[in-house]
């Protein structure tokens, strides 16, 4: 899975499990907190993602228990899952650094001119 970009819900689930094992509802709540309230995983989406991550070996079942007559599974990140999340973090960090670098270049007197950056085009003409 090296150098493969993770979809945001997958990255958020792995992040939610990075510091502690969690059961499904706790993962949903943690993803909501991590995303600042922007991402609320639906139950079907969550369990489809968890099944896929289990098959890929990125997470494992930490333990199972019966709560109020229902089976509750707690999931944990595997070492491979930790590595994949770390690689994704580095990929995102590099992207942010490049965006910051380019934004800083645009603060000069003639942004984009003489720096090897492309010149914006309006209706096919150079600006």
Residue pair 101/91 in contact (Cβ under 8 Å)? The answer is no
In tens, the pLDDT along 38-92 reads 999 999 999 999 999 999 999 999 999 998 999 899 999 999 999 999 999 999 9
Does residue 123 fall inside a structural domain? no
Does residue 109 fall inside a structural domain? no
User: 14 burial class (0-12, 13-18, 19+ CB within 10 angstroms)?
Assistant: buried
Does residue 126 fall inside a structural domain? no
- Identify the domain containing residue 63 by its residue range: 8-92
Looking at the structure of the chain, the number of domains it has is 1
Does residue 79 fall inside a structural domain? yes
Nearest to 22 by CA among 70, 67, 66, 77: 77
With the C-alpha atoms ordered 42, 45, 51, 53, is the resulting torsion angle positive or negative? Answer: negative
- Whole-structure pTM value: 0.78
Q: What is the CATH classification number for the domain harbouring 48?
A: 1.10.10.10
């Amino acid at each position: 899975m090296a150098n493969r970009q993770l979809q945001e819900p997958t990255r958020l689930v792995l992040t939610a499990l990075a510091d502690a094992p969690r059961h499904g509802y706790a993962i949903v709540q943690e993803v909501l907190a991590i995303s600042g309230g922007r991402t609320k995983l639906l139950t079907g989406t969550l369990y489809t993602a968890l099944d896929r991550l289990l098959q890929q070996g990125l997470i494992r079942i930490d333990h199972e228990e019966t709560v109020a007559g229902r089976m509750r599974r707690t999931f944990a990140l595997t070492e491979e899952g930790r590595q994949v999340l770390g690689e994704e973090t580095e990929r995102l960090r590099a992207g942010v650094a490049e965006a910051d670098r380019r934004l800083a270049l645009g603060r000069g007197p003639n942004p984009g001119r003489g720096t090897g950056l492309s010149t914006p085009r309006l209706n096919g003409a150079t600006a």
